[in-house]
Structures are given as C-alpha cells and as structure tokens.
Structure 1
Amino acid sequence: MDDYLVRILTKAGTFRGLACVSTGVVAEAARRHGTLPTATAALGRALTGGALMGALLKTDQRVALKFEGNGPLGKILIEALSTGAVAGTVGNPAVDLPLLDGRPDVAGALGRTGLLTVTKDLRLKQPYQGTVRLTSSEIGEDLAMYLTESEQVPSAVRLDVFVEQDGTVGAAGGFLIQSLPPQDETAIHLLWERIGNLSSLSDHFCRGGTPEQLLDVLFVGIPFETFEKRVISFQCTCSREKCEQALLTQGKDALRAMADREGGGTVTCAFCREVRNFSQEEMGSLVDALSEPVAPPPAPSDESGKTAVLDIRRTLEINKKT
C-alpha cells in the first residue's frame, strides 16, 4: 500500500478528519538514519503527525515540529510541506528501550519533561510559533494538546508505528480529528469516546486497513464527505544551493583552510542524510564569493523569519572531506 492521506469534512461542518498510512515514509526515515526500534517508533510517530499537520496548511506553506525532552532520545525535528512531503531527524538514533506493556516506550525515550515547539511558515512576514509542555511524550497526545491550547481547536490525534522483531517497519499511520464551530458537544463526546475505545492503529494497518476504513469507523452515523486524497512521501527540502549557503556561514578563512589543506568539504543534511561534496575548486569559488573575511553571521532565532522553519545551520552538518 502506497502512503497517502485522506481528509473529510462532516456534512454539518462541525468536524474535520484526516487519516493516513505512512509505513513507507517511516521505513525510509529509519533506513536513512539507522534508527533502532524505539527511536524508529518515536521518529515515525512524529513524521506521521507532521504529515497530518502539513495537510492542514494552504499551498506553499510548511510546518516544523521540535520535540525536546529529557530522555535519551534528546529531540525530534520534523518539517512537513502542504504538498505531502515530510522529513525529519532524531537526536539519538541508537535508542532502544525495553517494551512497555508490549509497546515501544516512546515516552521513556523522549523523556516526560520537555517542550513541543510548532513553527508555521504561512508566507507572511514572520512565522507563527507556539510552544507547549510535553503532556505525555507519546507524540500524538502532545500534538493534540498543542492544537487545543495554542490554536484553540479541540483536537484528537492518534499515531502508531509497528516495528518488527528484526527492526523493520511493519506498519505506520494515524489520524487527526478536530471540532469546528459551532461545536456539537454531544458529537464531541461520542467521537472522543470512540477514539478512546479504538484498538491499536498499527494492528489496523498491519491487517491492510485503510485510512478510509479508519474514518468510517470513527464517523459511523455521522454523515461526511471526502474531499481530498493526497500522496505523502519522505522528501527533504535540502538542496546544493542551501549547502553552499551553509558553507558560506563558516567564513572566508575557514573555507580557505578547507580548500587548501583538506582538498574540499562535505555537507550532510541532518534530515535526510544526503551528502553533498564540494571540490577544492568549488570551495575556492565560495571563498571568492565572500568579499572580505567576516565572522559567520548568527543563526536566525525561531522568531527572526521564515528561515527559522528550516535553519540551514541547524540541519546541515558541515564536515571536513576525508
């Protein structure tokens, strides 16, 4: 089954629902980052949540999620576009904790104390940003709390990743349900009760269940219309041009040293692990592009502009060529 997402709206206009299968996206991320099972589950849930959040945006908009906890995982960074493209990274891919009640201990890996920061590039002068404390560190509940508290939209989010005994990704997917005004308290209670009674989402997707079938179960008896189905994929926004910009932030002296003594340099994207090599001649051209030796400019803060959504100095690792 290819990865895709479905979006529905109830005919009364009081609820919207999104559901997706993301097995391929999570498997690709696990392969690129070499994650062990618990890290795979955590990163996979965050990627799935990012895809759902991205689907709420308008054309050419994007959202970045940053989960920071006090557990061994450290942090998770996700970027999702309105097109269905999503990519991400995890602080420590080598985390693998014992199962907790038969499920990956994602909360133990991320840590039960920390923050979730959501930054949206809405193509305005400044990005929109909101931060909440981690509620459960299970990823889905934390995203629901952010949407409910920071955006004032009552929301429910469930995300799940099943990791096989050999460490491969067996299934992944999730859903996001939001109550829209005018709020129907009776229907909210009914939906939230159904969500609470749902069995494992990974079981649903492992059995070949679809996002459409999942929404059918949740909204049985509540008329709705499906108005979008889109492909989702692991796709990064990095480029050679962004890598050049990252190198330029190192300053003229550092670039000259890399060109003269090390024969070139490499830049690795932290989100997708793609490596781009720069020859000695290319490094020399970058040196020439700098008019004078200056200190690297400060990295933009999360409040300083659109580039904060994907800060190239944070997500591109500059390495010496070996």
Structure 2
Amino acid sequence: MNDYMIRGTAAGGEIRVFAAYTKATVEEARERHGLSPVATAALGRLMTGALMMGSMMKNDSDVLTLQIHADGPINGLTVTANARGEVKGYVGNPEVMLPPKNGKLDVGGAVGIGLLSVVKDLGLKEPYSGQTILVSSEIGDDLTYYFANSEQVPSSVGLGVLMNKDNTVRHAGGFIIQLMPFASEETISTLEANIGKMNSVTQYLDEGMTPVELAQQVLGELELVVQGEMPVKFYCDCNKEKVAAAVASIAREDIEEMIADDEDIEVKCHFCNTAYTYTPEDLQGILDYSDKEA
C-alpha cells in the first residue's frame, strides 16, 4: 500500500473525517535520522498527525509546525507539514532507548512531561499559535486535547507506528475524527460508543486496513463519504543556499576562524539530515553577502 490520506464526512456532514497510511514516510524519517524504535514511533505518530492537520489548511503555501518541549530523554520533537501532503521532522535524541512498557514501545516515557505547541503560518502578518499541556505524551491523546482546548473542536485522534523485529517500520497511520458544532446528540453518542470499542490503530493496520477501512471502523454504522484523497510523503525543501542562511547567523569571528583553518566544514539540515559542505571560499562569500545586506 502506498502512503496516502483521505478526507471525508459522515452522518450527513455532522462529522469530519481524516485518515492516513504513512509507512514509507515514517520509514524514510527513521533511515534519514538513524532513529531508535521508540524515537521512530514518537516521531512517526507526530508526523502522521501533522499530515492530517496540514490537509485542513486551505492554501498550498500554508505551513503547520508541531513542537513538543518536554523533559523526557527524547529531548523534544519538531514536525512541519503543509497542505500538499508533505511532512518533515526530527527529534532531539534520535538514539533514545527505553525498556518496553506493557509490552509496547514506551513513547510516553521517551517524550516526558511538557507542552505541545501548534503554529500555523497562513500568510498573515502573525502566525496562529496555540499551546497545551501534554496529557499522556502518547501524541494522539495530546492532539485530541489540543483540538478540544485550543480550537474548541471535539475530536478523537488515533495514531500508531508498528515496528518489525529488524527495527524497520511495519505499518504507520492514523485518523482524526471531528464533530461539527451542529452534530446531534444521537450522532455524538453513537460515535463515542464506537470509539470506546476500538482496538489499537496498529492492530487494524496490521490486519491490512486501508485509510478508508480504518475510518469506517471508527465510524461504525455512520456511513463515510470520501471527499478527497492525496499521496503523502517525507519531503524537505532545504538546499545549500537555505542552509547557508543558517551558517550566516553564526558569530562573525567564528566564521573567520573557520576560514583561517582553511578546511571545509559540513552542516546538516535538522529536518532531513542532508549534509552540505562549505569551502573556505564559500564561507568568505557568506560573510561578503552579509556585509552587503547590512
């Protein structure tokens, strides 16, 4: 199954539905960053959630950033997504290892206690920014809490990453179900009952369920109407020129010292781990450009 996402409605438009399959996307993140199994699960859940949240934005140029600042050994997570089904992200400590908890990867223990920040750059003067506490640090629960408290949208978020024994990604995906303001009590009760009977997302994915089937599993007898489908992927728009802007932010005396050492330096993009090499001549060019702009 290729990575893709669906969006739709149910119960005559009273429910908004998103579901995604993201195995290849999460596996690419694992490979690029050399992630441990628990780091893969944590970042994969956040990336999957961000992809679905990104699809809620209207314009291709809109950008969503999810950041988790917490005290766990993973040392925080950052993910960026857009409305085109593209996502990138990284963790502070990609090699974090923890013993399993109740037979499962201890994502909550790796993340720790802290805050979830959501920033939406919609091309306005100031980006929208919201922040909530982490209620479980399992990612899905935290996004559910964010929607209810920061956006006042009753939601259910289910996310999962299942690993193979060789520590590659076996399955990844999830759903976001949201109630519209005019949802009836009958619809709400039916949906709550369905969600209460659900197994884990990873179990359904391991049974071979597609995003449509996963969404219908959540909805039960509430019929899903699919309104759109799009491919999703790991994508970073970095290049040597953009990374050079980060190099330019280094103190001038430090860059001059690098030039004096007369050796190439390597700088890696946080989001995709791509390495860019800068010669002493490149560094001098960065300084010269900064002087012109000053």
When the two structures are superposed, what TM-score results if normalisation uses the length of structure 2? 0.95
Q: Deviations over 1:110-166 (max 9, x none)?
A: 11x210001111110101001101011110010111011001111110001111222
Structure 2 CA distance, aligned partners of 1:199 and 1:291? 60
Bigger drift between 62-71 and 199-208 goes to 199-208
Match of 1:99 in 2: 100
Q: 1:125-136 alignment to 2 at 5 Å? A: 125-136=125-136
Bigger drift between 73-82 and 282-291 goes to 282-291
1:4 and 1:22 in contact (8 A); partners too? yes
Letter in 2 for 1:249: S
Match of 1:12 in 2: 12
Match of 1:88 in 2: 89
Match of 1:176 in 2: 176
Match of 2:39 in 1: 39
2:11 and 2:187 in contact (8 A); partners too? no
Letter in 2 for 1:85: E
Q: 1:284-299 alignment to 2 at 5 Å? A: 284-291=284-291
Letter in 2 for 1:110: V
Structure 2 CA distance, aligned partners of 1:293 and 1:264? 24
Match of 1:21 in 2: 21
Structure 2 residue matching 1:141: 3-state secondary structure? helix
Structure 1 CA distance, aligned partners of 2:24 and 2:186? 37
Match of 2:145 in 1: 145
Match of 2:186 in 1: 186
Q: Deviations over 1:250-306 (max 9, x none)?
A: 243332322231423222111110111112222221121122898xxxxxxxxxxxx
Letter in 2 for 1:120: K
Instruction: Identify unmatched segments of 5+ residues in structure 2.
Output: none
Structure 1 CA distance, aligned partners of 2:194 and 2:178? 14
Q: 1:1-322 alignment to 2 at 5 Å? A: 1-10=1-10, 12-59=12-59, 60-111=61-112, 113-291=113-291
Q: How many residues align?
A: 293
Bigger drift between 8-17 and 173-182 goes to 8-17
Instruction: Identify unmatched segments of 5+ residues in structure 1.
Output: 295-322
Bigger drift between 26-35 and 277-286 goes to 277-286
1:259 and 1:265 in contact (8 A); partners too? no
2:161 and 2:171 in contact (8 A); partners too? yes
Structure 2 CA distance, aligned partners of 1:175 and 1:83? 17
Bigger drift between 120-129 and 201-210 goes to 201-210
Structure 2 CA distance, aligned partners of 1:11 and 1:195? 15
1:61 and 1:122 in contact (8 A); partners too? yes
Structure 1 CA distance, aligned partners of 2:66 and 2:202? 23
Structure 2 CA distance, aligned partners of 1:72 and 1:253? 34
Bigger drift between 19-28 and 189-198 goes to 189-198
2:75 and 2:93 in contact (8 A); partners too? yes
Letter in 2 for 1:166: D
2:252 and 2:287 in contact (8 A); partners too? yes
Structure 1 residue matching 2:291: 3-state secondary structure? coil
Sequence identity of aligned pairs in percent? Answer: 37
